[in-house]
Amino acid sequence: MASKSSSGSSLYTDLSKVELVFSKYEELKKRVKDSSAFESKFKSSLGDAFWLGAWNDYKDKLSSAQYLFEASTQTKLEALKENSWEVYKRNLANAYLTNRVGNPILPEFLNELRAGKFNVLVPNQGVVQINSKFLGSALSEAQIQEIGAFLKLPDAKAMISRQGIIADLDDFLKDQDPAYMGELRDVALVSSYAELKSGIAQGGVFSDRDLPAELKDFALISSFEYYLNNTTKEVITGEGASAVKSFVKKFDVSNADSRR
């Protein structure tokens, strides 16, 4: 799901509406459902003349809500809670990866969740504290561990993307989860490639020892092409009686004749 609903409202707002549904549902489940319990609770305050009529009105309203306790409704409510949990985790991932104050550190973020609040940086507002409760309840340790597992891979990807060019990928990734090793290696190569390409386009020169093995040939060829495309050499020839000055534009990749 996207970070915003179709109406443009934040999913935090949407989840607050879901929280309201479950809050009312839990309240309804706690209501007394038989006349003796109702009598015991309200007869003294309503009096003999009114409590029975109040019970009949209450019973009618309670009957109209019985569909909430049917098996099919229970299933839908459980599905709503499960979907809301997935949305909640995505909201947290977005907040952690894009709106955190300073460089995000996953263990610190999880500790903030345990404390009940986490900090995010909101444009034009500065640092804002967000309540970490899910549907009105504090997160359990099991839920926090699930969030940590959910964030583990995107956290590693974000960390790699911030490193720039990584020369020794094997050493850099040695402490990562083996299950993610291939995917993280690809992320590191793509990130290194993007920075390398950008640097060469600006005239940067990269030492072979500072590059991963997979990108060394690319760096060599790209650097040479950059040199040829941006170098004009003046050649003096001595054929005949007079000197001839010739300006030769080296190797134009867009002109096939220049390569003959």
Mean pLDDT comparison of 9-13, 139-143, 162-166, highest-scoring range: 139-143
pTM for the complete prediction? 0.60
Average pLDDT over residues 70-89: 82
Confidence of residue 209 (pLDDT cuts 50, 70, 90): confident
Handedness of CA 66, 70, 73, 79 (dihedral sign): positive
Confidence of residue 29 (pLDDT cuts 50, 70, 90): low
| CB-count burial class (<10 Å; 0-12, 13-18, 19+) for 95 | buried
